[in-house]
Chains A and B, each alone.
Chain A
Amino acid sequence: MDEFIVEMRHITKRFPGITANDDVSISVKKGEIFALLGENGAGKSTLMSMLFGMYEPDEGEIYIRGKKVNITSPSHATQLNIGMVHQHFKLVENYTITENIILGQEPKARFLGLLPSVDIKGSNKKIAELSKKYGLEVDPTKKIEEINVSTRQRVEILKMLYREAEILIFDEPTAVLTPQEIEFLLEIIRGLRNSGKTVILITHKLEEIKKVADRCAILCRGKLVGVMDVADTSTKTMANMMVGRDVSFTTEKDKPRFGAEVLEVSHLTVKNHDSLPVVKDVSFKVRAGEIFAIAGVSGNGQTEVADAITGLADSCGGSIKLSGRDITKESVRERTLAGISYIPEDRHEVGLVLDFDLAENLALREYFKEPFCRKGILQEAAFEEHGKRLIEEYDIRSGQGTVTSVRSMSGGNQQKAIIAREIELGSELMIFVQPTRGLDIGAIENIHKQIIAQRDEGKAILLVSLELDEIINLADTIGVMYNGEMLNIAPAETLTANQVGEYMMGVKAV
């Protein structure tokens, strides 16, 4: 069996409330490019983190070069010639490329034959040679803060090569790159294989796999669905397997009755902190009684669209109209009062004040109005009463009722509290971003029902989700975002999950 350089047998890893890997077995041949494909949260990164020694599996065994090993730490993994490029680079900004690469394994020199020092000059030469050998041209004396993202990635790769890694793990390496840079990276990966390295590529982008990988394992909800030769498998089959055919539990819903246009977004452009456009010229409309879902892989600009509509992010082009009124320049408060409810993606950082109690959080968007506040004085009784009513009506479970510190509540109940609060605002437009992230099946079902109930009451609903199932289940209209652009908008019944999946991977509309 020694043709396999890596074997992971029956690996199970559990985290509180979730089984990240459930009896997963994979074998990787020496000198191949092996891809791990799966949706967000399918357990790809967890599996590789165990190979790299960041976690230890609860069950199962790992064999490297036919020998059973117990990888306890990343440095142990390095000794076994395993290297990993993380999604978020781990580099010291104000060190040079060479310094970063040799950090931890500095070659020693003796100054004047006496004082020990780090042999920077020799290392620079060595790194230059190494980079030439693998076609990863870098200037070893440049500082990290002076170089761009794709060069930083090359530094990470060189770091592995410097440590003589034979097994190279790439965690979503293309997520941060432009299309041209991706091409270049894939070229590098092929080069690495040709010089005898084994590459494991974690990704959810089918095109990349099709381009470079030899074999591919597909994970879905922690389970291994299949391993196939990429050459004789179509992208479609892979997408099918990745989404998982049999999983979707559908939520009952009636035919939509669309009313007047509530939200009109036209030519919206949003820039991030580095003034790079993350939302590019996006236009769409949401009608009353409609669930408009934005699908897309994480980080393609969906959240920024929602933030721009609610006023949390500044838009730098285009206009946003709510029931015909231009709100592009209005403040968050004005927009809330104009009729926008917002269930943000990040419950803890945006949606709640964790150190406040439940009653205070349930009034977070209305505290300044009667009956919560009269002449600048807060009315505790009103907070209490409002809190009690919402806890009752929305079945929010908490230890001590209205005075429970929200920090101590479960994620599902925190989310219920936010949704209760936002529904109570009675806004015409409700924006849900990833409303079920990290929640269990029961809570998800409850939230889905509430979203549909709001639609049936004639609210316009904008749903942003990374879960394809959720989108297919709930949406009346689906828009897919890729790389900041709205690729395709179509009525939900005209699209299959696979088509949406393909658009999410950047395949253009046919």
Chain B
Amino acid sequence: MKKTSSVNPFKRGFAAVLGNEKSQGITIPVFAILLSLVACAIIILALGKNPLTAFTSLLQGSGVLPKVTYAAKKSMFTDFMSMINEFTPMLFAALAVALALKTGLFNIGVSGQMLVAGFIATITVGYSKLPMAAALPLVLIIGIISGAAVGALIGWLKHRFNINEVVTSIMLNYIFEYLISYFINSYYINAISRQSQAISASASLTLANVALGGLKVDIPLGFILTIPVAFLVLFLLNRTRLGYELKVVGLNRRAAKYAGINVGRSLITSMALSGALAGLAGVTLYMGYYTSIQPRVLTSVGFDSIAVCLLGNMHPIGILFSSLLITVISKGGNYMSSIVGVPEEITEMITGLILLFSACGAFIRYRVSITKEEITEEKLRAKSAAAAEGGEKA
């Protein structure tokens, strides 16, 4: 009567590790990351290099592990701070995507909103002679407001004319990209760098080359905001009346109406809040990580942030970790290519693979749940077979 199990032990193992629905928020992204690292290792091996050295050098390059030697006035700390400088806008952008997704909207226009915020803050505060104490708060406020305004416009278009936010935000990306290029090229261009004129040092959110214990370090002030903002988004979504309303609207618009929620206002609010976070990302990128804007280029941060957000399971705390991971890899890429001798593009490939695999999270979850069902079914069948046998004997 003994039947061979239809579920192979390999699958059983996966179901056991990934099957717990409560911890799936963590286990599945980690599994996705491991899968992508394995895939990358295979590619690096195929190039005839040692994947372990490659991965270590990634961490060294981004200041997580110490390098063997450092140039004058540089140390692991300098590398680390420089990585954090890049991490800051990525986190805000990913939070912007997450807030929209959690409330049932897809903000694919984060890059455009970042550009608008960065540009407006640049021409208002960046080119002014305001002292730092006045300039920096103003940069943040202007960034938030201009990002929110673009977001609100997208939300309003959706509410008023029922235009899908994906369409409007993508189209607005182009409109802003070229409109702002026009202004930069006409009024603010630096003839040598072909970028906008650099902003004044007192308006930069990143303090460049600060002498600190014999080192020259970049200090990204925006970083101070990252963790509080992540927790603020979490609090807003889970603990406030506004968050409750936005989520109901996102999950079920008809139920929201039934509950007496003003659906249109909620849509606009969701997009405005998402835009505000994108605005923060914009000023920390263009007025911190960079000090100028390159015309006719949309930053990839706004698009990468979508995947980063998914990798972080749309949860603000998860996003803290996923943005850190992605930034570490992209930052360490330069060093890896020089140490291991693989092209720098490989790092972008690693990032791409991680994001690709993390986007498969839902698929992995689905496969795991199917396997789990197969296992329970088999158990049931075994049980009833055993019962039948017992019955026959009796």
Contact = CB atoms under 8 A, between A and B. Distances in A.
B255 A353 contact: yes
Contact of B251 (A336, A344, A353): A353
Given A332-B260, A360-B244, A367-B244, A350 B255 contact: yes
Nearest to A368: B241
Interface in A358-413: 360, 364-365, 367-368, 373, 376-378, 380
Contacts of A344: 258
Contacts of A176: none
- Of the four ranges (under 10, 10 to 19, 20 to 34, 35 or more), the interface on chain B belongs to 10 to 19
A356 B241 contact: no
Interface in B240-268: 240-244, 247-248, 251-252, 254-255, 257-262
A435 B267 CA distance: 31
Interface in A325-355: 331-334, 336, 342, 344, 346, 349-355
B241 A373 contact: yes
B241 A349 contact: no
Interface in B251-307: 251-252, 254-255, 257-262
A415 to B, nearest CB: 15
A356 B251 contact: yes
Contacts of B194: none
A490 interface: no
A354 B252 contact: yes
A376 B244 CA distance: 10
A225 interface: no
A332 B257 contact: yes
Nearest to A352: B255
Given A355-B251, A356-B251, A364-B248, A312 B258 contact: yes
A336 B258 CA distance: 9
Interface string B190-216: 000000000000000000000000000
A312 B257 contact: yes
Nearest to B235: A377
Nearest to A342: B258
B335 to A, nearest CB: 44
B239 A364 contact: no
Sort chain A's interface into a size bin. Answer: 20 to 34
A356 B252 CA distance: 10
A336 to B, nearest CB: 5
Contacts of A312: 254, 257-258
Q: Tell which of B243, B254, B260 has the most Cβ of chain A within 10 Å.
A: B260
Contacts of A342: 258
A405 to B, nearest CB: 10
Contacts of B243: 378
Interface in B98-156: none
Nearest to A335: B260
A228 B99 CA distance: 63
A349 B252 contact: yes
B61 to A, nearest CB: 41
A351 B258 CA distance: 7
B239 to A, nearest CB: 5
A360 B261 CA distance: 15
Contact of B239 (A334, A351, A378): A378
Contacts of B240: 376-378
Contacts of A331: 260, 262
A353 B260 contact: no
Nearest to B238: A378
Interface in B60-86: none
A349 B260 CA distance: 15
B40 to A, nearest CB: 35
A332 B239 contact: no
A378 B255 contact: no
A313 to B, nearest CB: 10
B159 to A, nearest CB: 16
Nearest to B252: A353
A368 B242 CA distance: 9
Contacts of A310: 258
B248 A353 contact: yes
Nearest to A310: B258
Contacts of A365: 259-260
Given A355-B251, A356-B251, A364-B248, 10 more contacts: A332-B259, A332-B260, A346-B254, A353-B255, A356-B248, A364-B259, A365-B260, A367-B259, A376-B242, A378-B241
Interface of B: 239-244, 247-248, 251-252, 254-255, 257-262
Minimum-distance CB pairs A-B, first 8: A333-B260, A332-B260, A373-B241, A350-B254, A364-B259, A376-B241, A353-B252, A350-B258
14 contacts: A312-B254, A332-B259, A334-B260, A350-B254, A351-B258, A353-B251, A353-B252, A353-B255, A354-B251, A354-B252, A356-B248, A376-B242, A377-B241, A378-B243
